[in-house]
Amino acid sequence: MNSLQLTALRTIWIKECTRFLRIWIQTLVPPAITMSLYFVIFGNLIGSRIGQMGGFSYMEFIVPGLIMMAVITSAYANVSSSFFSAKFQRNVEELLVAPVSNWIIILGYVGGGVTRGLLVGALVTMVSLFFVDLQIHNPLMLLLTLVLTATLFAAAGLVNAVFAKTFDDISMIPTFVLTPLTYLGGVFYSLALLPEFWQWVSKANPIVYMVNGFRYGFLGVSDVGIGTSVAVLIGFNVLLFGLAWNLINRGVGIRS
């Protein structure tokens, strides 16, 4: 990667970060407020009746999943809305005719989504400290899962934006696909509570591996193998980055 490509990558990334930081009250604060309500309702009110789960208090158990849920939605929403806006306003064409490779365009947009996801994750983590004393069992696994998940959903948001034809199309995937998969991804319960058949069905949900990998980083417990979690994350990242490159290289949804 030469200096021209690095400059282009840095410029796109800074533009993406400036975009969501300029309206931080809309992009960073709402997830923290939403997760605070989850902590109060599910952690304090309902959790006190549930007791322990996986050898930890219910609040400790759900905190990693709630942090991951905020990271997923923020990283996805940032790239899908930003790239579609660029496509809708026709200024993405300026990138396509510039001497910049498609990989740089993808990395720039994904980098902005990852940055927003990590900032939201940090804010939610700080909010959670008001409700529970967090412990970190494996910092490396925690950071690896966090970054890979944010990268994965930022790339997924880019793919969604490429195919989207209207602003309504941007919200369809989060509403009808992402939200159900997240709530059924083991955020609020352990897979061990499910009948054996539904445990196997749940393991077809990729978010299960992200939530459990992240939970292992905090608590040292997981419903699935840690190696499997990392392999699933890497595999989906490779798949989505390859798909995004192929779509942009062919000009799908971009070149009329």
Q: Is residue 88 over pLDDT 90?
A: no
Among candidates 13, 124, 33, which has minimal Cα distance to 79?
13
Q: Which two tokens stand for residue 174?
A: 């989060």
Q: Which two tokens stand for residue 161?
A: 């934006």
Mean pLDDT within 123-129: 92
pTM: 0.93
Are the beta carbons of 233 and 209 closer than 8 angstroms? yes
Q: 93 falls in which pLDDT band (50, 70, 90)?
A: confident
Q: Is residue 233 over pLDDT 70?
A: yes
Instruction: Residue 99: count other Cβ atoms within 10 Å of its Cβ.
Output: 8
Among candidates 75, 134, 101, 105, which has minimal Cα distance to 12?
105
pLDDT given for residue 124 in this prediction: 94
Instruction: Residue 201: count other Cβ atoms within 10 Å of its Cβ.
Output: 13
Q: 3-class SS at 57?
A: strand
Q: 78 falls in which pLDDT band (50, 70, 90)?
A: very high
The vertex-17 CA angle with 11 and 23, nearest 5°, equals: 135
User: pLDDT digits over 155-192, tens only?
Assistant: 999 999 999 888 888 888 888 888 889 888 989 888 98
How far is 86 from 159, CA to CA, in rounded Å?
14
Mean pLDDT within 106-112: 95
How far is 5 from 31, CA to CA, in rounded Å?
34
Q: Report domain extents, the chain.
A: 3-250
Min mean pLDDT across 19-33, 67-81, 83-97 is at: 83-97
Q: 256 falls in which pLDDT band (50, 70, 90)?
A: low
Mean pLDDT within 205-221: 94
Residues 36-64: b if buried by 16+ CB within 10 A, e if exposed = bebbeebbeeebeebeebbebbbbbbbbb
How far is 181 from 177, CA to CA, in rounded Å?
6
Amino acid at 149: T
What percentage of residues in the chain have a pLDDT greater than 70?
A: 98
Amino acid at 203: K
How far is 6 from 4, CA to CA, in rounded Å?
5
Average pLDDT, the chain: 90
Q: 255 falls in which pLDDT band (50, 70, 90)?
A: low
The more confident residue out of 57 and 48 is 57
Q: Is residue 123 over pLDDT 70?
A: yes
